[in-house]
């Protein structure tokens, strides 16, 4: 945060904010970054750096509004980065490429690789909320309760989205 010195009170408040919101914000960042864990971590760090600069404004907000501020800030940082930085855009993964085998030793491995690639293509094509839930569950290995908290939706809604995603994969 540059030369901007913060008091111990401000540092404690920022630490409490981080402890309260970092996990949720990381889940959201994973969705924004389309599963790129390193990019998601960078986005969370940038959002909390912005929170440090805006600490006096954040002090006046309740926890729900702080959470919303952090999410909006993270999204704005991501959009700005994607617009101006081709390298940042290039970091967005093609999910199926992560799981593609380079050389299949057997026909079964080749078939598995093709099926897995097709599954990730289907996940990529799901509606936005189903896509987010599927990524957080199947790629980030988050529990349904964690996904619900990260996306700000009911746990039952997470279950419904996962069930629909599974049906799409089965079809």
The pLDDT of residue 6 = 77
The pLDDT of residue 155 = 92
Domain spans of the chain? 8-90, 95-170
The pLDDT of residue 1 = 41
So what CATH class is 95-170? mainly alpha
State residue 74 phi and psi, 5-degree precision.
-60, -45
Encode pLDDT of 125-134 as tens digits.
888 888 888 8
The pLDDT of residue 96 = 38
DSSP-based three-state secondary structure for 126: coil
Mean per-residue pLDDT, 135-159: 84
- Ramachandran area for residue 141 (φ above 0: left; ψ -120 to 50: alpha; else beta): left
The pLDDT of residue 157 = 93
- Pick 112 or 88 by higher pLDDT: 112
Give the other-Cβ count within 10 Å of 18's Cβ.
16
CA dist 164 and 150 (Å) reads 19
Look at 5-9, 94-98, 105-109, 143-147 and tell me which has the smallest mean pLDDT.
Answer: 94-98
Encode pLDDT of 34-83 as tens digits.
777 888 888 999 998 888 888 888 888 888 888 888 988 888 888 777 66
- Pick 60 or 90 by higher pLDDT: 60
Given a cut of 60, whether residue 2 has pLDDT beyond it is no
CA dist 23 and 150 (Å) reads 8
Output the CA–CA distances (angstroms, integers) from residue 16 to 27, 79, 88, in the order listed.
18, 27, 30
**Percent of the chain whose predicted confidence (pLDDT) is above 90:** 6
The pLDDT of residue 86 = 57
User: Is the CB of residue 170 less than 8 Å from the CB of residue 119?
Assistant: no
The pLDDT of residue 159 = 92
CA 9 to chain centre: 30
User: Is the CB of residue 72 less than 8 Å from the CB of residue 43?
Assistant: no
Tokens of 30: 């994973």
């Amino acid at each position: 945060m540059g030369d901007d010195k913060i008091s111990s009170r401000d540092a404690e408040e920022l630490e409490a904010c981080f402890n309260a919101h970092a996990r949720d914000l990381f889940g959201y960042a994973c969705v924004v970054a389309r599963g790129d864990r390193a990019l998601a971590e960078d986005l969370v760090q940038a959002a909390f750096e912005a929170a440090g600069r805006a600490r006096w404004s954040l002090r006046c907000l309740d926890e729900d509004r702080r959470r919303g501020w952090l999410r909006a800030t993270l999204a704005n940082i991501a959009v700005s980065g994607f617009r101006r930085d081709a390298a940042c855009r290039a970091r967005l993964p093609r999910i199926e490429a992560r799981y593609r085998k380079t050389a299949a030793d057997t026909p079964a491995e080749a078939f598995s690789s093709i099926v897995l690639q097709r599954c990730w293509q289907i996940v990529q094509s799901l509606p936005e909320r189903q896509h987010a839930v599927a990524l957080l569950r199947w790629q980030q290995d988050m529990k349904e309760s964690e996904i619900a908290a990260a996306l700000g939706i009911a746990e039952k809604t997470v279950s419904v989205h996962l069930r629909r995603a599974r049906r799409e994969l089965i079809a």
